[in-house]
């Protein structure tokens, strides 16, 4: 095994036992990035010199027998929507080109304090708006399982970095499935915590009531360990929850014989790919074999989740993105007639077509005379969807369903049809509307194309431990392989 192929838990143990040096691992990762990332485009920027400096500090601590932090030397890739002090943060948008934050997001401070090393910023759909990673202003990230296909979005760069061994772990954000969908398409573990479990301070907002930082890793244990670090209350985030954080790594290793699982019938109806359906149903049978009690449940208002999600998301995007105007940071078009003309020209040049579409639709939904008809009604539907989950969780502990109705699709296949593209998130976005935690884990591969298929596990608010325990048991006993690796054609 190459050092860049290590899982997080393996890496930390080997560093502590002095079997490897952090500098050696960092060098191996950057050699691998230099070799393959020109093919995959996972990274927008890398931090080699800074990473090597941090690696040498950790190696000195190991050599001198100092107490090591929990993620000592761990190489982590970070989605380019999370602010990193001294490292360019663009949200894959031209309007933020050249923006270097003067501070770290809370989640970055947490992983740095735990000893992790930022190795680079990963590509994404611009401002998190997309399901395919084709909406980046700079490049299209390619799926390592088939470079003619998308990696999923919007955290596609982070998922590809992990799947292709260009990082040992990565951070992403999930507004409507943007961690879980790329995890499904790229065959890795994607964990989206409960809204409020992880601080959003320093995460550039797309839709504030939906956004949540999550992890992308090669194993469930790795996800649990990362969750131990990134979760917790933050006074800088008014939506942060004052709830104790359990030891997810320890709790995920119990059995699941006392858990009840619901299978929502609405997730297995029209529109679900036959191979995805077969693989997910087989995975559910395997969870039953481990002692889980399975029963069918209903989430009757799920059919309204898609329009409700996009109305709310676009309305909040319209408000959040108003601050990008060329005045204080980022792009500015100086050839203009007056202030209003500068705003128009800067925003026209700086935003991509999907971002402009969502800003315009969101502004319309919030405008006088339409607020009640669109935005307010969408919020009422959101309440109905949350009530559906609340009713189901009175009877069961966890929900099992597909992450996506389809495997990874071909580049260009849906980009000109926004409505078809939006349907890709149909199984993930209800989780964000209800503020619940969810995880995607690979459960099989398509027969002809060898594309990953994701099983989604959804839990009650702040019960990530049960999700991780189920995923850990499934991975340990039945995973289609122990992190099967794509054969990248370089």
Q: Which residues are catalytic?
A: 79, 154, 178
Strand order in the sheet with 293-297: 43-46, 117-122, 75-79, 169-173, 213-217, 189-192, 438-445, 452-459, 398-402, 260-264, 293-297
Decide: helix, strand or coil at residue 102. Answer: coil
Cα torsion through 78, 81, 86, 88, rounded to 10: 100
Q: How many C-beta atoms surround the C-beta of residue 90 within 10 A?
A: 26
What DSSP string runs through 300-325?
GGGGGHHHHHHHHHHHHHHHHGGG-S
**Residue owning tokens 């399975």:** 294
For 7, the enclosing helix (H) or strand (E) is none
Cα gap 247→241, rounded to integer Å:
17
Omega of the bond leading into 361 within 30 degrees of 0 (cis):
no
Decide: helix, strand or coil at residue 180. Answer: helix
Q: What sign for the dihedral angle of Cα 99, 103, 105, 108?
A: positive
Q: Which of 8, 256, 226, 232 is nearest to 111 (CA)?
A: 226
Cα gap 46→127, rounded to integer Å:
19
């Amino acid at each position: 095994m190459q050092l860049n192929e290590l899982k997080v838990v393996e890496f930390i143990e080997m560093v502590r036992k002095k079997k490897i040096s952090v500098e050696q691992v960092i060098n191996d990762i950057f050699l691998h990035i230099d070799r393959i990332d020109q093919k995959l485009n996972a990274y927008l920027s890398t931090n080699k010199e800074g990473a090597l400096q941090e690696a040498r500090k950790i190696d000195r601590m190991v050599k001198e027998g100092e107490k090591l932090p929990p993620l000592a030397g761990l190489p982590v890739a970070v989605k380019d929507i999370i602010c990193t002090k001294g490292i360019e943060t663009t949200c894959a948008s031209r309007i933020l080109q050249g923006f270097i934050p003067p501070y770290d997001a809370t989640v970055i401070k947490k992983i740095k304090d735990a000893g992790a090393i930022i190795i680079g910023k990963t590509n994404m759909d611009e401002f998190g708006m997309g399901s395919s990673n084709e909406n980046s202003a700079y490049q299209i990230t390619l799926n390592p399982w088939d470079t003619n296909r998308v990696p999923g979005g919007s955290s596609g760069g982070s998922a590809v970095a992990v799947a292709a061994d260009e990082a040992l772990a990565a951070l992403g954000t999930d507004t409507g499935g943007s961690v879980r969908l790329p995890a499904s398409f790229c065959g890795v573990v994607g964990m989206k915590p409960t809204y409020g479990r992880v601080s959003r301070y320093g995460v550039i907002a797309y839709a504030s009531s939906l956004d949540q930082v999550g992890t992308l890793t090669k194993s469930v244990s790795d996800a649990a360990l990362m969750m131990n670090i990134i979760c917790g209350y933050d006074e800088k985030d008014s939506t942060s929850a004052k709830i104790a954080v359990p030891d997810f790594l320890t709790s995920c290793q119990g059995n699941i014989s006392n858990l009840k699982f619901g299978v929502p019938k609405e997730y297995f109806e029209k529109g679900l790919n036959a191979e995805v359906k077969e693989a997910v149903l087989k995975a559910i049978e395997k969870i039953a074999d481990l002692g889980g009690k399975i029963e069918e449940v209903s989430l009757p208002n799920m059919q309204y989740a898609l329009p409700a999600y996009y109305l709310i998301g676009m309305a909040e995007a319209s408000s959040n993105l108003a601050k990008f105007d060329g005045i204080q940071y980022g792009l500015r078009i100086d050839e203009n007639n007056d202030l209003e003309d500068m705003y128009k020209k800067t925003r026209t040049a700086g935003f991509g077509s999907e971002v402009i579409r969502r800003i315009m639709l969101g502004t319309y939904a919030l405008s006088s005379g339409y607020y009640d008809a669109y935005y307010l009604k969408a919020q009422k539907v959101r309440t109905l969807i949350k009530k559906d989950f609340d009713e189901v969780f009175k009877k069961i502990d966890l929900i099992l369903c597909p992450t996506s109705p389809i495997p990874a699709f071909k580049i260009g296949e849906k980009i000109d049809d926004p409505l078809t593209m939006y349907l890709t998130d149909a199984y993930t976005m209800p989780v964000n509307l209800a503020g619940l935690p969810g995880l995607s884990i690979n459960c099989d591969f398509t027969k002809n194309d060898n594309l990953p298929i994701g099983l989604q596990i959804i839990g009650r608010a702040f019960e990530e431990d049960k999700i991780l325990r189920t995923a850990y048991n499934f991975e340990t006993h039945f995973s289609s392989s122990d992190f099967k690796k794509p054969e990248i054609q370089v």
